[in-house]
Amino acid sequence: MLLILLILLITDLFFYKGIRHLSNHRLTVKQKKILTLLFWAHSIGFLAGTLLVSKWMHNDYNPAVQRRIYCFVGILLAFYVPKFLFIPFNFSEDIIRFSSMLIIRIVGKRKTEEVNNNLKITRITFLTKAGLILAAIPFVSLIYGMTSVKFNFRIKKINLKFKNLPEEFSGLSIVHISDLHIGSLYGHHEKIVEAVKMINSLSPDIICFTGDIVNDFACEMNGWFEILGKMEARIGKYSILGNHDYGDYHYWSSDDEKMKNLEMIKQAHHRLGFKLLLNKSITITRQNNSIAIIGVENWGKPPFAQYGDLDAACKGLKKSQFKILLSHDPSHWDAEVLNKKDIPLTLSGHTHGMQFGVNIGKIKWSPIQLKYPRWIGLYIEGEQLLYVNPGLGYIGYPGRVGISPEITFLELNRKAATI
């Protein structure tokens, strides 16, 4: 927490330096004093708010308080992400000034002063204004993402073809959803009603949910069962747990309390009509053929836990059987599935697309790809496919910029040739 506060304070110092430069010749002494007072009042307010939110986060779950936390985090990011982008412009001026001082000592004072006098004002003003203009873009985007985009649910339809899919299952439809984070959605029940209606309008054979139904607590589900329980699928609804469902990010008073919370989350899946697959599989039979849906517990690269046991989940399945794997973290696909298991299709979530980026056609970019090379959409390697759903809900930043919440509609068909 001290490190976070220090970062915020240093950021404000650099930003204030740039603001002060721009106001030097434009404001009166009195106006400058008012500007300084307002700036540092806002800075102290954010520092105090950060400490208060830190205290709230260690308390038991309260939906109203949780909503305030997310609101504060969103506003904090909207103000400080632009400031972070401004710092390189402001800092570059300090580097140039330091370099000039160094040159003075080496080349000579008079000649360097003549050059600097011609360039100094233009250079500083240009860098400061350029930084402010750039900073305005994420500020507007983050505010807009909090108010409009976060519930702009999008249905994405994809036709997948597999040569080893049994003929009896050609045309099988799957709705894939992920990362609901229901604790973040308090007060937005009507929006989730809309999402459920969109899911049911697709009339899927199967619904697959790939984890993170809550942020931490089972009690987040209170008041949601009637809404979420209305999702309908002709064959069945299947789900797994995500990293947040285990309660690993909360300080529990005892291991028993944590385990009780986990059991209640598992029961919530059953109350919603989902078959929770915890390192298990289920076989669906049509006539003389069958397919298997496999579900593993969360498996991620450190610091994320590795509860998943793919070998145990696949136990008893035939090699020739067509398999669909539900695995929350897409990094599991590269680590244990790709070229290692005879699993044609894997469905994942987890990344949220960082809730920030670009996802237009083939143009896909987000900072999250630095950690997760497979972070959104469809990936094909040989005859194995991975689909990463960017999630329905949100966590941390209460919005989305460029990455819409998604309901994925997959239609599986048989194809004679290789994918």
The answer to the question of residue 394 being in a domain is yes
**Average confidence (pLDDT) over 305-328:** 96
Same domain for 139 and 264, yes or no, is no
- For residue 366, pLDDT over 50 is answered with yes
Q: Residue 105 has what pLDDT?
A: 65
- Total domains present in the chain: 2
With H, G, I as helix, E, B as strand and everything else as coil, classify residue 114: helix
**Average confidence (pLDDT) over 93-102:** 60
How far apart (Å, rounded) are the C-alpha atoms in residues 265 and 246?
A: 9
Same domain for 83 and 165, yes or no, is no
- For residue 319, pLDDT over 50 is answered with yes
- Check the CA dihedral 356-248-57-6 and report its sign: negative
Which of 132, 147, 162 terminates a domain? The answer is 147
Within 29-134, strands assigned E span: none
- For residue 119, pLDDT over 60 is answered with no
Q: Are 373 and 119 in contact (CB under 8 A)?
A: no
Q: Residue 402 has what pLDDT?
A: 94
Tens of pLDDT, residue by residue over 200-232, are 999 999 999 999 999 999 999 999 999 999 999
Which neighbouring-strand residues pair with 215?
A: none
The answer to the question of residue 419 being in a domain is no
DSSP state of 333: I
Q: What is the pTM of this model?
A: 0.87
Q: Residue 92 has what pLDDT?
A: 61
How far apart (Å, rounded) are the C-alpha atoms in residues 226 and 142?
A: 32
Q: Residue 266 has what pLDDT?
A: 98
Confidence of residue 409 (pLDDT cuts 50, 70, 90): very high
- For residue 149, pLDDT over 90 is answered with no
Which of 147, 182, 217 terminates a domain? The answer is 147
- For residue 115, pLDDT over 70 is answered with no
Which of 131, 147, 163 terminates a domain? The answer is 147
Same domain for 178 and 271, yes or no, is yes
- Domain of 110 in residue numbering reads as 2-147
Tens of pLDDT, residue by residue over 340-352, are 999 999 999 999 9
Percent of the chain whose predicted confidence (pLDDT) is above 70: 89
**Average confidence (pLDDT) over 382-405:** 96
Tens of pLDDT, residue by residue over 229-255, are 999 999 999 999 999 999 999 889 899
Q: Residue 59 has what pLDDT?
A: 77
Per-chain mean pLDDT for the chain = 90
Same domain for 323 and 343, yes or no, is yes
- Please list, in sequence order, all residues whose beta carbon lies within 8 angstroms of the beta carbon of residue 220, skipping any fewer than 6 positions away: 61, 63, 182, 183, 214
Confidence of residue 419 (pLDDT cuts 50, 70, 90): very low
**Average confidence (pLDDT) over 106-132:** 58
